[in-house]
Structure 1
Amino acid sequence: MLTVSVIVPWRGGDAHRDAAWSWVRARWAEQFPGWQVVTGTPPEGAWCKSAAVAAALPDAQGDVLVVADADVWCDGVLQAVTAIVEGAPWAVPHHQVRRLDETSTRAVLDGTPIGSPQRLVQRAYAGVAGGGMTVLPHATYRRVPLDTRFTGWGQEDEAWALALTCLAGAPWRGTGPLWHLWHPPQPRLTRRWGSDESLTLWDRYWRARNDPGAMRDLLDEQRCEGAEHG
């Protein structure tokens, strides 16, 4: 029987995000009491999702990892874990992302069932693979990690999905929604793009998406840069 660890990249300090994580953390405990939940916090300074995951990884004992944001929930995560057990290289539990507005989020936090008629801040859209919630074998994450050179918010998830698809294979994908609890948006160029630096790095991943050798070089490059700064 494979074991599961949920890794949540996390940095507190915002009341809305803190409240969302409190609700999500209770949901993990209620729905999957046998799963390990580990939070990871990056060093002080600019947010870095990869550094947050790296901080949690030494404590993550599961054969399967669920890398999940602190403000999302997806009922399809069990099916995604099952897909990994059955041999999928990695999995995206959801299809649509549904971002609740502030009022609906408050109602959920107060006990309204998530998924009941609720208002969204924008029309539901197809979620980006690698973002929100991603399920994969622990060994695969060690081989194909998030890139530490992405800081702030934007493009780190998309680049990771390109690397995983190139080096591990196409993901299994669920059909249900990923619910996102409202909090004030993070600073970025646009909703789509995080920063000029992240866009430039993502473009390198995009160019390497069909070239396993070039993709491995990108991953080795970021590991070397991380070692130099460690």
Structure 2
Amino acid sequence: MKIVIAIPWRAQPGRDLAHSLTLRHWAELLPEAQVVHADYGGELFSLAGSRNAGVRLAEKIGADIVIICDADTLVQAEPIGSAIEGARTSGKVHLPYEYCRTLGVDGSAQYRDGVPLPECDAIPVYGSTGGVYVTTPSSWWAHGGQDPRFRGWGYEDVAWFIAHETLLGEPVRHEGDIYPLHHPSAPKDAPILEANYALLARYGEASGDPEAMRRIIAESGQEPLG
């Protein structure tokens, strides 16, 4: 089984350390996996589009399983293992966590000093739908992947969850946590966030209506397979 770890990535000030720690973490966790970096392009980085680009890269090199992982996010071994196994046959995307526990300045420093992740100071984020996804390429495209019209960071993962839930059923969660590392936040542009939120609202309106959801996804160029 070929596993590819696809990391959405565009170098930005202050992010290199978190990126390097994430790469080291994966090398220890899944040394047999191949890592690729993906950037959708355009003047403004699109996290959603870059996640899709990562899956396309993984497809080209014959991936059976794609782990889409943000460049600052660490995951636990047991849930990633069960998510890989489940994603092979479920036809759904798997989230290898129940809770997101954000490592702030102190928690990230503790991790760098060798403190085990569950013992690092962290801020719990409930209901998270981003960070790390485990999927086959076909499952990712079956519900349209993520909408590249979401630019920058913001709301793309919530819209993705709604689309998946409407077209394939709820994504499969596994018991465990993910841990985003601290780094300087990217600048947030108010008009872009407003446009992202307006697009999310359309996904919300289409929730539970497969035909309406397929129409929205078709507009994005990410036509679902089913």
Indicate the TM-score class for this superposition, using the shorter chain for normalisation: 0.7 to 0.9
Listed as ranges, the gaps of 5+ residues in structure 2 are none
Measured in 1, the distance between the counterparts of 2:56 and 2:94 equals: 22
Query: CA, structure 1 residues 147+18, in 2 after alignment: closer, same or farther (shift >3 Å)?
Result: same
Q: Percent identity?
A: 28
Provide, for residues 79-121 of structure 1, a one-character-per-residue CA deviation record: whole Å limited to 9, x for no partner.
Answer: 11122135251211111111112132123234333222x223x
Report if aligned partners of 2:108, 2:182 keep a CA contact under 8 Å in 1.
Answer: yes
AA of the residue aligned to 1:25: L
Report if aligned partners of 1:20, 1:109 keep a CA contact under 8 Å in 2.
Answer: no
2:121 to 119, 141, 154: 119
Q: What is the number of equivalent residue pairs in this alignment?
A: 215
- Are positions 1:103 and 2:101 aligned together? no
Provide, for residues 32-65 of structure 1, a one-character-per-residue CA deviation record: whole Å limited to 9, x for no partner.
Answer: 1122211102324112013323433343131222
Q: Which moved more, 1:181-190 or 1:97-106?
A: 181-190
Measured in 1, the distance between the counterparts of 2:36 and 2:86 equals: 22
Report if aligned partners of 1:94, 1:127 keep a CA contact under 8 Å in 2.
Answer: no
Matches within 5 A, 1:12-161: 12-15=11-14, 17-60=15-58, 61-75=62-76, 76-87=79-90, 89-116=92-119, 118-120=120-122, 122=123, 124-129=124-129, 131-143=130-142, 144-161=144-161
Stretches of 4+ moved more than 4 A in 1?
none
Measured in 2, the distance between the counterparts of 1:172 and 1:56 equals: 21
TM-score w.r.t. length of structure 1: 0.85
Deviation of 1:210 (Å): 0.6
Measured in 1, the distance between the counterparts of 2:96 and 2:176 equals: 7
Aligned CA-pair RMSD:
2.1
TM-score w.r.t. length of structure 2: 0.87
Query: CA, structure 1 residues 55+90, in 2 after alignment: closer, same or farther (shift >3 Å)?
Result: closer
Measured in 2, the distance between the counterparts of 1:199 and 1:148 equals: 14
